[in-house]
Structure 1
Amino acid sequence: MQTYPCPTPWRIAHPNQHNADNQRLHDYYTYNATLQPYLCRCGTWHLTHNLADELPTYLEPTPADVRRLQALDNTAFRDLVDADIKRTGPHQDRIALRAPELRTRWRWALKALLRTVQTQLDDDGNAEWRTKALTYQEAVRIRLDECRALRMHALDQAA
């Protein structure tokens, strides 16, 4: 299995499933937290509340999915990036976004979404909406960091 930079570096990285499962049990008995271990794309094991949100490590983007995403107009592509940020898009699309051929376009879409949310935050809004917008802004920044890490990883691999 090829490993990539971790898309969730703030999560504890366990070297194997056994260690992750021990942590899961500890968290369950100590905090009543229901977590599931999963093998991350970085090659380590993490814990998550919603296993369905995590990208499967064994899937690589298909050339057909990459071509389909390349053919999207800018609005549809940005909507797809938004769905990835919210973890609501199909796994095959979310994985294809990370393909080398799409990383530059992915980065530009992320930057556009970040500018949009920052502009909206500059306007006055109610506290509940502002909290959601700040959470979304942080999720966009996390995806930007992941995109940068993938680009750097590709450069390191090429050297």
Structure 2
Amino acid sequence: MVSSATAAVFRTAGSERDFLDISRLDAGAVAAHRRPFAIGALLERVCKDYAGDALAKGVSLSYVRCRAIVDSDPALIERIARNLVANALRYTDSGRIVVACRPKGSSIAMQVWDTGRGIPRDKQDSVFREYYQLGNPERDREKGLGLGLAIVRRLTDLLECKLILRS
């Protein structure tokens, strides 16, 4: 089964930073600082940062080069990309993860594709709620806190980007 999380046009492992980020987002204390930047360099850096984790897990992590210049907040986009890649790594036991950009009309879609476990259709909205995790009923903190995708949802809302999940 292949699952994909797509954000039109951001390493978390359940940390104090996640709590702080979600609190700041909920309080409206995060502002977007838009500027043109090369999204490809950002995505390549994120993939390089996670390459060792992927290798240790036996999962292929690849990046498809992109030369697009986007007008958004590079720090927030990087956080989105890091959370999506970290999530893909967490739930992909074998196979591969591919990070790419694809033109969508006058926009760019940043995409993270993986051969992970997949998400049942009736749970797809729930995975973007804070503290919600599939396959962690015992709330084992080693499996994360369930904040990564909630942060992604709030950041894409802040940036007025579409967030699409296909599984």
Report the structure, 1 or 2, having the larger strand content. Answer: 2
TM normalised by structure 1 equals: 0.30
Higher helix share: 1
Q: Comparing both chains, which one has the higher relative contact order based on Cα–Cα distances under 8 Å and sequence gaps of 6 or more?
A: 2
Structure number with larger C-alpha Rg = 1
